[in-house]
Structure 1
């Protein structure tokens, strides 16, 4: 039995696409079409499993066929369902690359050891990754650039990143 911690979310079903059971899929893999290489994909609780067959690229995603989905109504019912793959089926990464799932929840400390918060999510709006940091001393989330200058150390074993944020990003 795969534990939820051993699963990585690789995509989400965004709704029906057409009338024959095709779905719009948002792929979270580096190469969107590589999601097909990780078949079968499962729901987080493991209750459903799907083989994904890519039909074509569409705006903001892929048009795909899922096994056992043949009607628009079945496809509509899956809207918002996240699809997962066991971590051991993903390729290992170079030392300076990380899966987003591994970063979420890590403590963020500054170069002096003061805790700044925790990583809530990893965002990318086109200009590079941003770490969304939340913490008790913050009125709202802070977006920390995920660059070598701003985050010189990622220590997955100790569950933290060491940050050297630009001046003024975090309250004094």
Structure 2
């Protein structure tokens, strides 16, 4: 059972929190995003209503409908959880969710379109853009000074721009000098 379309992975369950079904979540990104969600999609379980969400440094403890015991929470350990993109709270201008980057064009420093973002993955020490380009698939580090997320007039992402500092060869291009 794979996550539905138009969802964003929020993290994974770490294990029980208390004895009444609370479960700790390792959060990808900002834990505040989970506090107001009405529901989450749980790998292998489907959509579950959020009864309560408590801040728990550095993550969140969720209390989900149908999970009322420590044993029930234990059964969720290691499962991924997702939110419907439409359920995520709005962000201030200049900030964005990773799902907003999917489908964006990737431009070389000269403006040429060289790829398209398929997904964003959390690689632990840094996030990576998964991009499709003429030579196949590549992973681009989503970090300055290599990548700039260009925004439109409303402050929402509209393209990824590689800078002059981006190392050669990330998109499989030939790096040998002639």
C-alpha RMSD of the superposition: 4.1
Partner residue in 2 for 1:145: 143
- TM-score w.r.t. the length of structure 1 is 0.64
Give 1 or 2: higher strand fraction. 2
Partner residue in 1 for 2:35: 36
The separation in 2 between residues aligned to 1:79 and 1:19, in whole angstroms, is: 15
CA spacing shift, 1:76–1:42, aligned 2, 3 Å: same
What count of residue pairs does the alignment treat as equivalent?
Answer: 164
Partner residue in 1 for 2:90: 92
Report the CA distance between 1:95 and its aligned residue: 4.8
Partner residue in 2 for 1:82: 80
Report the CA distance between 1:110 and its aligned residue: 0.6
Q: Return 67-76 or 43-52, whichever deviates more.
A: 43-52
5+ long unaligned stretches in structure 2: none
- TM-score w.r.t. the length of structure 2 is 0.62
Q: Per-residue CA shift, 1:41-70, capped at 9, x if unaligned? A: 333788331224235524x42333323212
The separation in 2 between residues aligned to 1:134 and 1:95, in whole angstroms, is: 25
Report the CA distance between 1:165 and its aligned residue: 4.4
> For the Cα contact (< 8 Å) 2:20–2:69, is it kept in 1?
yes
5+ long unaligned stretches in structure 1: none
CA spacing shift, 1:165–1:20, aligned 2, 3 Å: farther
> For the Cα contact (< 8 Å) 2:38–2:87, is it kept in 1?
no
Alignment of 1:13-162 (within 5 A): 13-28=13-28, 30=30, 32-43=31-42, 47-55=46-54, 57-58=56-57, 60-104=58-102, 106-112=104-110, 113=112, 115=114, 118=117, 120-121=119-120, 123=122, 130-133=127-130, 141-146=139-144, 150-151=147-148, 153=150, 160-162=159-161
Give 1 or 2: higher helix fraction. 1
